[in-house]
Structure 1
C-alpha cells in the first residue's frame, strides 16, 4: 500500500489533466501488454496486438516490463505523437541515464532482484544515438498498431473523465476529487491511500502538489512518479477502464471493419493512406514512412484522396500537411454524414 501525504500547499497545487498524450499512453500500454497475469479485460486487445505487430518481440519492449521505467516524466506531456517523439529524441543523456538508474533501484525494491535487467541488455538509449533511434523506431511501429487505431476513442474517454473531475473540483473542491477516485484509492484527509497490503510506503509530497492523469492503459502497482529534477508536481495515473465492456467500448473500433470495406473501394494502399492520415495528420514524407512506399507514391495517393474531398492539404514552407475532412472521417469511421 502507498500512503501519499498532502500538506496545505499540496492540495492547492493538485490538478487534473485530461491525458499525458499518445506517447505516454503508448509507454503504459507496453507495460500492460507484457503483464504475465495482467487484467483479463485487456486480453482481446493483447491478442490483436500480438497477432498484428511482430516488433513487440523487439528487445526494447522489455524496457517497459514491470512499469519501472517512467519515460513519460522524461518527455513530459505531449498533445501529439510527433511532439512526444521529438521530446524523446531530444531528452538529455544524463536525464535518461538518471531515470534508468532509478528504475533499476525501483525494480530491486519491489522484486528483490539485482540481476542484469533484460530491458537494457539490448543497448544504451541514454548515451548511444543509434540505440535511441532504434527505440524511437520501435515505438513508432508499435504505436501504429497498438494505440493509434484506438486513439480517437481513448482521447474522448480521457477527456470525459477529466471534465467530470473538473466539475467536481469547481463545485466541491479538491478533496472531493480525491474522495471520488475509483476503487483502490481511499482519501482519508490528509492522506491518500492507494492499493492494499500490510506493508505501507509513506510518501510526502513536500509542497509539490499532485497531477491526476486519467489513463486507459495504466494497470501497474500503485506508484507516484516524480520529475527528474524533483521540482514539478508529482504524477499519479488513475485507471479509467475496469470492466470488459468499458475496454471493448474504447479498444475496439469500427475502423477495423470499415478499413476492409474501404480497401475494396479505394484499393489497399489508398485505404491505408486514408487510415494513416486519420490516425495522426502528417506530411507526405511521414505518410510514405507509414505506408512503406516512396515519397512520389505517397504524394500521388494523397492527391487522389484530396481530389475526392477526403483529405485537406495545407503547405507549410517546403512541406505539406494532410488531415481528414469531415467526409473522410465519416467514410473511415463508417458513420453517416446525413443530417
Structure 2
C-alpha cells in the first residue's frame, strides 16, 4: 500500500488537471501495450495496435517492458505530441540518465528481480543522438498506432474527469475531492492510501501539494512522481479512468460502425451523437455543446430527450448540471441491444 501524507499547506495546493499531454499518455501506452498479463480490458486495444504496427519489434521497446519510465517528468507537461517530442529531444543528458537508472533501481526493488533490465542495456538515449532518435521514432509509432486513433475521445473523457473532481474541489474543498476518488484511493485524514497493486511506502508532500492527473493508459502500479527540474512543484499522481470493459469499449474501440448506424436509425443522428458525447464521460451542458458542436440550447434540448428516455441522468452541482450515462444508455452504446 502507498500512503501519501498531507499537511494543511499540501491540501491548499492540491489540484486536478485534465491531462499531462499526449506524449505522457503515449509513454504510459508503451508500457501498457507490452504487458501481456495486464488488465484484460486492454486486450482488444493491444491486438488492434499490434495489427497496425509491430511496435514491440523496435529496439527502444525494451525500455518500457516491465516498468514505467517516467520521461514525462523530464519533459514536463506538453499540450501537443510534437511539443513533447521536441522537449524530449532537447532534454539534458544527465536528467535522462538519472531517470533510466532510477527506473532500473525501482524495477529491482519492487519486482525483486536480479536479472538486468534489458531497457538499460539497449542503448544510451542520454548521450547517443542516434539512440535518442530511435526512441523518438518508437514513440511516434506507438502514438500513431495506439493513441492517436482514440485521442479525441480520450481527451473528452479526461476533461470530463477533471470537471467532476474540480467541481467537488471548488464546492466542498480538497478533502472532499480526495474522499471522492475511486475505491482504491482511500482518504483517511491526513493520509491518502492507495491499494490494489500500488507501490508500497510513504510519501510526505512537505508543502508541495499534489497534482492529480487523469490518464487513459496509466495501468502500472500507482506511484507518485516528482518534477525533475523543480523541487517545489506539486507531486504528480495519475488517476486511471479506464476501470471497466465499458470504459475501454467507449474510449479505445474504433470498429463501431454497425452499432453507430443502429443508434442513428433509432434515435436520429444528432441524439445518437449526443449519447456518444455523454458516453465519453460526465459533462456539463456547455461541454456537451462543445462535443457535439451545437449551441447550448440545442445541447440542453437533446439531453432532455435522452434523460426522459432513461439513457442519461442529470444531477445539479451548485449552478451547474452534470450529464452522466445511465445503465441503459451504456448498454446501447456497447451494442447489447444492436447486432453489429
1:196 Cα deviation from its structure 2 partner: 4.7
1:111 Cα deviation from its structure 2 partner: 1.4
TM-score, normalised to structure 1, is: 0.73
Q: Which residue of 1 aligns with 2:76?
A: 76
Taking the aligned partners of 2:32 and 2:143, their CA distance within structure 1 comes to: 14
Q: Which residue of 2 aligns with 1:55?
A: 55
Corresponding position: 1:143 with 2:143: yes
Matches of residues 1-339 of structure 1 in structure 2 within 5 Å?
1-196=1-196, 200-229=200-229, 230-253=231-254
8 A Cα contact 1:217 1:239, kept in partner: yes
1:58 Cα deviation from its structure 2 partner: 1.1
| SS of equivalent residue, structure 1 residue 193 | strand
Taking the aligned partners of 1:256 and 1:82, their CA distance within structure 2 comes to: 30
TM-score, normalised to structure 2, is: 0.72
| SS of equivalent residue, structure 2 residue 192 | strand
1:95 Cα deviation from its structure 2 partner: 0.7
| SS of equivalent residue, structure 1 residue 67 | coil
Q: Describe the superposition over 1:145-172 as per-residue Cα deviations: whole angstroms up to 9, x where unpaired.
A: 1100100000000000001111111100
User: Larger deviation: 45-54 or 108-117?
Assistant: 108-117
User: Larger deviation: 226-235 or 205-214?
Assistant: 226-235
Structure 2: give runs of 5+ residues left out of the alignment. Answer: 259-292, 294-340
1:208 Cα deviation from its structure 2 partner: 1.0
8 A Cα contact 2:22 2:78, kept in partner: yes
| SS of equivalent residue, structure 2 residue 89 | helix
Structure 1: give runs of 5+ residues left out of the alignment. Answer: 258-325, 327-339
Taking the aligned partners of 2:148 and 2:109, their CA distance within structure 1 comes to: 34
